[in-house]
Amino acid sequence: MGISADIGRYGFGTGPIGNLFTAVDDETARAAVDAAYEAGIRLFDTAPHYGLGLAERRLGAALAGRPRDSYTLSTKVGRLLVPSSGGGRDPEGFDVPADLRRVRDYSRDGVRRSLEESLGRLGLDRVDIVLIHDPDDHWEQAVSEAYPALAELRDQGVVGAIGAGMNQWEMLARFVRETDMDVVMLAGRHTLLDRSGTRGLLPLCAERGVRVLAAGVFNSGLLATHDASGTYDYAPAPGPLLARARRIARVCERHGVTLPQAALAFPLRHPAVASVVAGARSAAEVARNAALAAAPVPEDLWTDLAAEGLVG
């Protein structure tokens, strides 16, 4: 069935409304989803991993009054949520109680159970895209059990499109070569600062007709503001990358463009990319991203960045 052609150039990522790093309340989370929908965003991406199910519950509640055929919803499999008596807070970066814990499971039964539980949290009877989530250390089970289980669900019309989502491009390329996936989500490896996936994965996707959802386009923060500060892939930004980002920002200034504006626009220049998925935790962040996405980026900017060896 494949991925819909009308998902739009930008999608909404729900990690932040799963209380990634910092908690937001239900009202703020709902306002963020509402703002995204009202801004014309029609692709919503979530996962059990995000806030131990909180993001799925919040997204489902916010979309409950919307026509089901008016949006595309993506979730993921590979982490089952099971009860935990450990107490405390989630150790994986989400500000939520650790009353559940994640268990990696890429088996056929695990995939079916994960999807069923996601549908329960979302309050839906179907999702449009299902991605195998972060199978970095689980290739064999992911390709021999998770993928066939999803392919069967696709063949039955239970889901519309299947794929994998990762922070690395090498295993995604292997999936594209060895399976019949419709879509991959590539996080952080097709950006202004890291084009390893641009070179290593995207040409293969274009050749095989696999659509790419580009995520992590701000590399966790370094490209999110024009002054190029903050983290790179969730750790302090190395000096050389910080300097490179600031050089890119200076070139952007000559064209009346900000660094985050260029970061959002860059991934869509490749024909394999179907959409850029950006997370937001509030209506204000959604409005900011929408304004950045709507602002034109002159072609001369990319020419100048290439001439200075900053974007190839």
Residues 122 and 59: beta-carbon distance below 8 Å: yes
Percent of the chain with pLDDT over 70: 98
Residue 225 C-beta-side C-alpha neighbours within 13 Å: 8
The model's confidence at residue 87, banded by pLDDT at 50, 70 and 90, is: confident
pLDDT above 60 (res 55): yes
The model's confidence at residue 218, banded by pLDDT at 50, 70 and 90, is: very high
* Least confident among 120-129, 145-154, 226-235, 260-269: 226-235
pLDDT above 70 (res 4): no
Per-residue model confidence (pLDDT) at position 271: 96
- Tell me the average pLDDT of the chain: 96
DSSP string, the chain: ----TTS-SEEEE-TGGGTBSS---HHHHHHHHHHHHHTT--EEE--TTTTTTHHHHHHHHHHTTS-GGG-EEEEEESEEEEE----SB-TTSB-SB-SEEEEE--SHHHHHHHHHHHHHHHT-S--SEEEEE--TT-HHHIIIIIHHHHHHHHHTTSSSEEEEEES-SHHHHHHHHHS--SEEEEESSSSSS--HHHHHTHHHHHHHT-EEEEE-TTGGGTTSSTT--SEETTEEPPHHHHHHHHHHHHHHHHTT--HHHHHHHGGGGSTTEEEEEEE-SSHHHHHHHHHHHHS---HHHHHHHHHTTS--
The model's confidence at residue 5, banded by pLDDT at 50, 70 and 90, is: low
pLDDT tens string 220-260:
899 999 999 889 998 999 999 999 999 999 999 999 999 99
pLDDT above 80 (res 312): no
Mean pLDDT on 67-86 = 96
Mean pLDDT on 109-138 = 98
pTM for this entry: 0.96
Per-residue model confidence (pLDDT) at position 64: 97
pLDDT above 80 (res 1): no
Per-residue model confidence (pLDDT) at position 234: 86
pLDDT tens string 163-197:
999 999 999 999 999 999 999 999 999 999 999 99
- Pairing between β-strand 10-13 and β-strand 79-83 as defined by DSSP bridges: unpaired
Residues marked active site are found at: 50
For residue 268, what are the CA distances in angstroms to 213, 281, 288, 293?
A: 10, 23, 18, 11
